[in-house]
A and B are shown apart, each in its own frame.
Chain A
Amino acid sequence: MELVCPAGNLPSLKAAVDNGADAVYIGFRDETNARHFAGLNFNDKQIEKCLDYARSHGTKVYVAINTYPQPGNITKWERAVDQAAEYGVDALILADIGVMDYAAGKWPELRLHLSVQASATTHEAVRFYAEQFGVQRAVIPRVLSVKQVEALVSNSPIPIEVFGFGSLCVMVEGRCYLSSYVTGQGPNTFGACSPASFVRWSETDSKLETRLNGVLIDQVNKDENAGYPTICKGRFVVNGETGYAIEEPTSLNTLPILPELLRIGVSAIKIEGRQRSPAYVAKVTGVLRAAIDACMRDPENFVPDEDWLSQLTSVSEGVQTTLGAYQREWQ
């Protein structure tokens, strides 16, 4: 089971490599990837350094080009594919059919992975990409129960990668327009959810308010912590009750079900968080490395170490974790 770790900059990449990542995934410094944040990601020079460092340590590098170009701007995505191919990266992580068609046609030797942003949740959908574009691995959305992942893995023509830790998208990735509905910019077209330029924090007499393009996402007492106004983690009113109508601020953590994921044949575990700090990447990579190694040595007797769990919780959204959709009760 491969451990795939996020890197939004060179220090994070080094942190991932040094703490036991089998592979790191990165993006270019523009809207061709789904973590298009100011100051994040790699330009040409940095990519070379990143590849040198990863290669000298035997770590693979995947490049995410996983947003959706529009008719007027597809050449930017094609150029990103060409650049990554010319650098000889180990795989591209793609979401858009047009981009995949281009990559498969122009760089037939280049390994392609299906991004979670392509929303493939069944073996038939995965087969489509494998047959049409020679995709060799699929990252699946965080919507399936463990049993459903098992069925998908056993019927899939290609290996399956799942999310193991990090911020939790509760909507099917690649089809969530919450951010674009409120701001005009969302993951598919712009590469970011709830972009910072639309965020406003303001104080009233007793409250701290967070807004996204004017829409009140949450309101806390001044002595509480106000989270980032991601729409799906906000507090709203439904049937007269105020609360987290969609999901609480929480992170996905699969340590408790690691033996299950190994048993059902999941090929790779991905850590979310290219936008997070090198310290986050170091900590989470280290814990997941130790856990996967322990689990593979003796899956029958695997129990997540208390220290691992507390380390992961300390870097989680809302300082709490969940198994998300893997667990049916969550659904």
Chain B
Amino acid sequence: MSASGITRPARLSLGPIQYYWGKEKIIDFYRSVETTPIDIVYLGETVCSKRRSLRLKDWMEIADQLQSVGKEVVLSTLALLEANSELGHVRKLCANGVFRVEANDMSAVQMLAGKSDFIGGASLNIYNSGTLRKLVDMGMTRWVMPVELSQEVLTDFQQEMPAGIESEVFSWGRIPIAYSARCYTARAHKVSKDACGYCCIDYPDGLMLSTREDEDFLVINGIQTQSAKVHNLVHALASSTAGADVFRLSPQSEHTPEVISLFDKVRQGALNADEATDKLKALVSEDLCNGYWFNEAGMASCSAAGAQ
């Protein structure tokens, strides 16, 4: 349901690949996505600027190809910028002239404001309508709610939403929990980030961090920390009152097309959310969670949505 009052079907988006994959794997992945019912694809490296499997030119080729098969393409910027060279890269993305950009940090907003429409990523910290309106005035046309906020908060936002602004929620995948200057994958290999040897390429779905009671707790992904549990809001997609226009699915190295297909079936009403959750659970080895959506601890699974 958008703020304009016109109800249109929920759309599904594919978030940027969070992990470090090789060039062929990335290209194959997006080929496999072309025939899926995903509506929007976010492209680009958002975690670590040292990961350079693809150059901007390669990303633009993938973007053109996806657009040619009818997908809306968005280029996503790095979430944590530290070096001037990284700013330079973001500047190039912002000036690409073809595709909209998802700003994942205020540097990107500063470059886009008043020049191009943009999407405000989850790490921009849009926690209230005052912040949202200010960014809308600068050209933001869609925003991604911070992952730790609930459906209740989204509903509150909807009361004061400027017309035509789309809301997107992180609906499937490991939750991005934190970013750091330190690379934890390198730390696990007992080397510093500068000497990382690109070791995160060996962990296409990240590196598990468990408690000493052998409970899967977090996933290390270079400088990013993720939840070990897989966030699942397929029940929100099935509900007419969720309040989101776009549901974001986060890529994993395997089964992403199946995940897209299951979410699509739920969207079409061809599968109920409980059945979908059972099938989704079979695709991952970790537990599911949805606590944030219910204003609980993020790792919790609340029965109203059936994620266990």
Chain A positions within 8 Å of B, measured between CB atoms, are 68-72, 74, 95-99, 101-102, 118-125, 127-129, 131-132, 142-145, 148, 151, 155, 170-172, 174-178, 180-184, 186, 188-189, 213, 215-217, 219, 232, 235-239, 241-242, 245-247, 324-325, 328-331
State whether A170 and B182 are in contact (beta carbons under 8 Å apart), knowing that A128-B110, A188-B148, A239-B188 are contacts in the complex: yes
Q: Are B134 and A132 in contact (CB under 8 A)?
A: yes
Q: Are B148 and A177 in contact (CB under 8 A)?
A: yes
Q: Are A122 and B107 in contact (CB under 8 A)?
A: yes
State whether A98 and B297 are in contact (beta carbons under 8 Å apart), knowing that A122-B81, A124-B107, A216-B215 are contacts in the complex: no
- In the bound complex, CA of A1 to CA of B128 (Å): 35
Collect the chain A residues with CB atoms within 8 Å of residue B128's CB: 68-71, 74, 96, 98
B57 at the interface (CB under 8 A from A): no
Q: Are A72 and B210 in contact (CB under 8 A)?
A: no
B285 at the interface (CB under 8 A from A): no
Q: Are A331 and B194 in contact (CB under 8 A)?
A: yes
Binds A, one of B10-18, B30-38, B61-69, B156-164: B156-164
Collect the chain A residues with CB atoms within 8 Å of residue B194's CB: 328-329, 331
Collect the chain A residues with CB atoms within 8 Å of residue B159's CB: 71
Collect the chain B residues with CB atoms within 8 Å of residue A242's CB: 212
Selected from A127, A215, A330, the residue in CB contact (under 8 A) with B182 is: A330
Collect the chain B residues with CB atoms within 8 Å of residue A329's CB: 192, 194
Q: Are B130 and A102 in contact (CB under 8 A)?
A: yes
Collect the chain B residues with CB atoms within 8 Å of residue A74's CB: 128-130
Decide if the interface of chain B is mainly helix, strand, loop or mixed: mixed
- In the bound complex, CA of A124 to CA of B107 (Å): 5
State whether A238 and B188 are in contact (beta carbons under 8 Å apart), knowing that A97-B134, A172-B179 are contacts in the complex: yes
Collect the chain A residues with CB atoms within 8 Å of residue B109's CB: 128
Q: Are B227 and A181 in contact (CB under 8 A)?
A: yes
Q: Which of B171-201 contact A (CB under 8 A)?
A: 175, 177-184, 187-188, 192-194
Collect the chain B residues with CB atoms within 8 Å of residue A216's CB: 211-213, 215
Collect the chain B residues with CB atoms within 8 Å of residue A181's CB: 148, 175, 177, 227, 297-299
Given A71-B160, A216-B213, list of 7 further CB < 8 A pairs? Answer: A74-B128, A97-B125, A101-B130, A121-B80, A122-B81, A129-B106, A170-B180
B295 at the interface (CB under 8 A from A): yes
Collect the chain B residues with CB atoms within 8 Å of residue A183's CB: 297
B7 at the interface (CB under 8 A from A): no
Binds A, one of B82-90, B232-240, B249-257: B82-90
**What total of chain B residues lie within 8 Å of the partner, measured CB to CB?**
72
Collect the chain A residues with CB atoms within 8 Å of residue B131's CB: 96-98, 101
Selected from B87, B127, B296, the residue in CB contact (under 8 A) with A70 is: B127
B123 at the interface (CB under 8 A from A): yes
Q: Which of B283-304 contact A (CB under 8 A)?
A: 291-292, 295-300
Q: Are B130 and A175 in contact (CB under 8 A)?
A: no
Collect the chain A residues with CB atoms within 8 Å of residue B157's CB: 71
Minimum distance in angstroms from A257 CB to a CB of chain B = 15
Collect the chain A residues with CB atoms within 8 Å of residue B207's CB: 238-239
Q: Are A238 and B208 in contact (CB under 8 A)?
A: yes
Q: Are B127 and A96 in contact (CB under 8 A)?
A: yes
B54 at the interface (CB under 8 A from A): no
State whether A184 and B188 are in contact (beta carbons under 8 Å apart), knowing that A70-B156, A238-B208 are contacts in the complex: no
Collect the chain B residues with CB atoms within 8 Å of residue A120's CB: 106
State whether A215 and B188 are in contact (beta carbons under 8 Å apart), knowing that A122-B87, A181-B297 are contacts in the complex: no
B165 at the interface (CB under 8 A from A): no
Selected from A99, A145, A176, A180, the residue in CB contact (under 8 A) with B297 is: A180
- In the bound complex, CA of A70 to CA of B145 (Å): 12
- Write 12 A-B pairs (CB below 8 A) sorted by A numbering: A68-B127, A71-B159, A97-B135, A124-B110, A172-B181, A178-B225, A181-B148, A215-B215, A236-B218, A238-B188, A241-B188, A245-B209
Q: Are B181 and A331 in contact (CB under 8 A)?
A: yes
B220 at the interface (CB under 8 A from A): yes
Q: Which of B92-149 contact A (CB under 8 A)?
A: 105-107, 109-111, 113, 123, 125-135, 146-149
Q: Are A144 and B212 in contact (CB under 8 A)?
A: no
Collect the chain A residues with CB atoms within 8 Å of residue B184's CB: 238, 245-246
